[in-house]
Amino acid sequence: MKIAIDKNIIENIKSVLIVVLMISTMLLLYFFWGDLSLEDFKLTNSQDNQETMDVKDLIVPSQIIIALGEDSYKLASIDNWSEMVQGLDEFMQSDTLLVEEITKEQYEKVMKSSSIRAKFDYQISLSEFCSAYGIKTSPSFNNIGTISEIGYGTISKESLLIYDSKKMKYYRIIVTNSANRLGRLLTSQMEKESPLYFTIGKYLGGNVNNKTFIPITLQTNLHNFDYNREIYSKKNDTISTLAQSYFGKNFDFIRKIEEGNGTVIYMYGYGQKVLIVNTNGVIEYKEESAGVGSEVGYLESLKTGLDFILRHGGFEGSNGSKYKPFLKNVEINLNGNGGYRFTFGLEVNGNRIYYQDRDPIIVEITKNQVTYFNRDLTEYNVAQVEAMNNEYKDAYSAINMLAKNYKYFINEMGMTGTFEEIANRIISLEPGYAIVRKEDQIQGTARAAWIVGFDGMEAYFDLYNTEPLGYKIIK
Amino acid sequence: MRKYIIAVLLIVMMLLSTVVSFATSDPAVTIVNPTVSSTIYSTNLLISVKVTQPKTIRIKVTEEKKVINDNYYSTTIDEIQKAEQARAVGKPAATFVSVPVDDADTYVSQNYLSFYTKRFEKVTPGTYKIKVDTLLNDQVIYSSESLVMMKDKPVVPIDVKIFSTAQSGATQFLQNLLKSIFGN
């Protein structure tokens, strides 16, 4: 009897051992064929050094426009955005939220008189916008596509107006609540001492009905500053450290290819994951889509992309030069696979940088997986920027900058028509920093500039003497 | 002798034509904003003058006042124009005075396209004249002007509806439901 029990025990032990061996074999195969290393299981404090950022920090408008009436406007600081969100939240706490489509004329009539509106350069649906900020939503919001502008005007106090530039449609949400907070914000911004803007149409009259705002005079603290592209030296193994942040410390099954021009390529498997470190500092990472899992929404994809960026250098140059990122463009349903392509822009000293060659940070997400990442960050001279931070100068008159460069638009940019016809095609005009360079240029000067946007083109002119700096064709 | 007379006559005609042109406007200078005899419901006034040749211009903004018993009163564009018409046919007309809003500006354009721009804030209601003189050796050779009426922003009457009456909740719900099923 005793022997029989022992045999059973032995058999059980054998079974357990077989199971353990099976699991061990599977794990080992996973380690060898997968991209994991034991380092990945270490408890590290990597989060401590990682930048933290919320998706909400990116869901911000490019402009907050305060209309004073008669085509005169002020631009409120983006610092007022949180107050505007609270105002929208208060306004939307209405028992019923009905949506109706309105005409362009109705929209413009409300927005032309005393009004406040936020303008977005990228696509985001109203439901996702509300979800990001915890604002009350309604099933009827599904009828509204993306929001390009959201605003409130005092001549229709029961309406929240929305413009969808993609579909070229206008909507209003009929609200029964009072917009006390939005009203107070509007009044305070109207009374605030700040530069006055008029539309281009107002300056040029006649048939020019362009609604782009430009100031008569503008004092700015924008000054030229020097930059270097982030270069990863092979000597001190910085490329290797960089690659480890993508593939882990164990480079099993990773091939390293060094091209004649100095470009270093790391490849996992047969190209399932590829990291390209270019000699000009541009990093590209591509990952084959696993094709598993369900499609995830806009905000979740943005969070995945943001987390990935923060894990791989964030928005800070290696010399400690910090940038404030903003969402510049979002492509939805990328290549028809339900993915997203998020393009980020960068700000220094509260002013946007415009790159002639390529956008600094792009991330593509497919089914919550990062499938493409591009990083082309420059390190700027922090001391130079800080030293000039409080020095304000008068920018060259914006309308005369356009007039003086009329021949440049014709001769260099290949545009045709009278000055008024060209001015009518402008879609944006604002001060910023322009980085005009060749693709392989590794250092240079970011110039304080007037940035003139056309449909498909962007031109840069010196902010103080209007000298043409260059232009780019937007594909 | 006849030739001399013709030559003198031609010179006199040319001189006369120059004298006449003193009162005409410069084809290379256009007051773009405000447009002639317009009404602006705002306290902000934007002056925009387009200059299409290298020129020196002087811009003067005045408020036009009606003079009654040595007192100045606000007036309208209509009153000023009617008085001008009456004066032209020798009838008695109201007297007006131009009160400078600011010092006259002199603007030198060195390009073949440029704009003089200036804004006036907190402009009180009234009738204003924008006068632009083209100068040559400090002499006025052309002159043009534009009258504009500044008014307070109109209070939007409560009965003015931009949007038609909102549909009932049930109708709107049904419409939204149909839209979400069949698309827009």
Which pLDDT tens digit goes with each residue over A416-432?
999 999 999 999 999 99
Residues in a beta bridge with B127? B64, B149
Whether B166 sits inside 8 A of A156 (CB atoms) is no
Min Cα–Cα distance to chain B from A426, Å: 18
Q: Is the dihedral of CA A238, A267, A330, A300 positive or negative?
A: negative
Chain B CB within 8 Å of residue A100 CB: yes
* A232 vs A220: which has the higher pLDDT: A220
Whether A403 sits inside 8 A of B114 (CB atoms) is yes
CA-CA distance, B83 to B77, in Å (whole number)? Answer: 10
Summarize the confidence of residues A351-366 as an average pLDDT.
94
Best of A98, A169, A199 to disrupt the B interface (most B CBs within 10 Å) is: A98
Chain B CB within 8 Å of residue A417 CB: no
Whether B21 shows a pLDDT value over 50: the answer reads no
Summarize the confidence of residues A176-198 as an average pLDDT.
92
Pairing relationship of beta strands B139-151 and B38-41 according to DSSP bridges: parallel
Summarize the confidence of residues A287-301 as an average pLDDT.
84
Q: How confident is the model at residue A444 (pLDDT cuts 50, 70, 90)?
A: very high
User: Contact, A433 vs A348, CB < 8 A?
Assistant: yes
Chains A and B form CB pairs within 8 A to the count of 93
Q: Which of A393, A461, A433 is nearest to A225 (CA)?
A: A433
Three-state secondary-structure class, residue A268: strand
CA-CA distance, A388 to A390, in Å (whole number)? Answer: 6
Chain A CB within 8 Å of residue B171 CB: no
Chain B CB within 8 Å of residue A196 CB: yes
Residue B28 to residues A52, A206, A424, B23, Cα–Cα distance (Å): 59, 16, 21, 15
Chain B CB within 8 Å of residue A274 CB: no
Chain B CB within 8 Å of residue A102 CB: yes
Whether B12 shows a pLDDT value over 60: the answer reads no
Scanning every residue of chain B, which has its alpha carbon at the shortest distance from the alpha carbon of A159? B163
Three-state secondary-structure class, residue A274: strand
Whether A6 shows a pLDDT value over 80: the answer reads no
Min Cα–Cα distance to chain B from A50, Å: 43
Could you give all domains of chain B from N- to C-terminal order, each with its CATH number? 26-154 (2.60.40.2550)
The DSSP line for A324-353 is EEEEEEEEEEETTTTEEEEEEEEEETTEEE
CA-CA distance, A246 to A226, in Å (whole number)? Answer: 30
pTM: 0.82
Scanning every residue of chain B, which has its alpha carbon at the shortest distance from the alpha carbon of A96? B169
CA-CA distance, A356 to A441, in Å (whole number)? Answer: 12
Chain A residue numbers touching B121 (CB-CB < 8 A): 196
% of chain A with per-residue pLDDT over 70: 93
pLDDT in tens, B68-96: 999 999 999 999 999 999 999 999 899 99
Best of B162, B168, B175, B177 to disrupt the A interface (most A CBs within 10 Å) is: B162
Q: How confident is the model at residue A50 (pLDDT cuts 50, 70, 90)?
A: low
User: Contact, A280 vs A229, CB < 8 A?
Assistant: yes
Helix (H) or strand (E) holding A247: helix A238-247
The DSSP line for B124-183 is PSEEEEEEEEEEETTEEEEEEEEEEEEEPPPPPPTT--SSPPPPPHHHHHHHHHHHHHH-
Summarize the confidence of residues A292-320 as an average pLDDT.
88
Q: Which amino acid is at B146?
A: S
Min Cα–Cα distance to chain A from B146, Å: 14
pLDDT in tens, B37-55: 999 988 889 999 999 999 9
Best of B31, B36, B113, B160 to disrupt the A interface (most A CBs within 10 Å) is: B113
Strands annotated E in A115-245: 115-119, 149-153, 159-164, 169-175, 197-199, 213-215, 219-220, 225-229
pLDDT in tens, A59-90: 999 999 999 887 789 999 999 999 999 999 99
Question: What residue has token string 């949007």?
Answer: B163
Scanning every residue of chain B, which has its alpha carbon at the shortest distance from the alpha carbon of A103? B163
Whether B50 sits inside 8 A of A140 (CB atoms) is no
* A129 vs A295: which has the higher pLDDT: A129
What's the pLDDT score for residue B8?
A: 62
What's the pLDDT score for residue A407?
A: 96
Summarize the confidence of residues A114-118 as an average pLDDT.
95
Whether B10 shows a pLDDT value over 80: the answer reads no
Three-state secondary-structure class, residue B84: helix
User: Contact, B150 vs B126, CB < 8 A?
Assistant: yes
Q: Which amino acid is at A235?
A: K
What's the pLDDT score for residue A234?
A: 59
Residues in a beta bridge with A76? A64
CB-closest option in B113, B172, B173 to A419: B113
0.85 surpassed by complex ipTM: no
Whether B155 shows a pLDDT value over 80: the answer reads no
Chain B residue numbers touching A417 (CB-CB < 8 A): none
User: Contact, B82 vs B132, CB < 8 A?
Assistant: no
Chain A residue numbers touching B179 (CB-CB < 8 A): 143
Whether A102 sits inside 8 A of B33 (CB atoms) is no
CA-CA distance, A146 to B5, in Å (whole number)? Answer: 80
Q: How confident is the model at residue A45 (pLDDT cuts 50, 70, 90)?
A: very low
CB-closest option in A102, A110, A202 to B46: A202
Residues whose CB falls within 8 Å of the CB of residue A133, separated by 6 or more in sequence, listed in order: A56, A59, A85, A88, A89
What's the pLDDT score for residue B175?
A: 61
* A235 vs B130: which has the higher pLDDT: B130
From the number of C-beta atoms within 10 Å of its C-beta (0-12, 13-18, 19+), residue B7 rates as: exposed
Round the average pLDDT of chain B to a whole number and report it.
82
Least confident of A9-18, A130-139, A364-373, B18-27: B18-27
What's the pLDDT score for residue A279?
A: 86
DSSP A35: S
Min Cα–Cα distance to chain B from A204, Å: 6
Residue B184 to residues A150, B18, B140, Cα–Cα distance (Å): 20, 66, 63
Whether B170 shows a pLDDT value over 90: the answer reads no
From the number of C-beta atoms within 10 Å of its C-beta (0-12, 13-18, 19+), residue A39 rates as: exposed
Q: How many residues does chain B have?
A: 184
DSSP A38: G
CB-closest option in B40, B115, B173 to A403: B115
What's the pLDDT score for residue B159?
A: 44
Summarize the confidence of residues B7-25 as an average pLDDT.
51
Residues in a beta bridge with A241? none
Q: Which of A60-74, A197-211, A456-470 has the highest mean pLDDT?
A: A456-470
Residues in a beta bridge with A340? A332, A365
Round the average pLDDT of chain A to a whole number and report it.
89
Q: Which of A374, A372, A371, A370 is nearest to A361 (CA)?
A: A374
% of chain A with per-residue pLDDT over 90: 60
Residue A219: count other Cβ atoms within 10 Å of its Cβ.
Answer: 10
Q: How confident is the model at residue B107 (pLDDT cuts 50, 70, 90)?
A: very high
User: Contact, A308 vs A363, CB < 8 A?
Assistant: yes
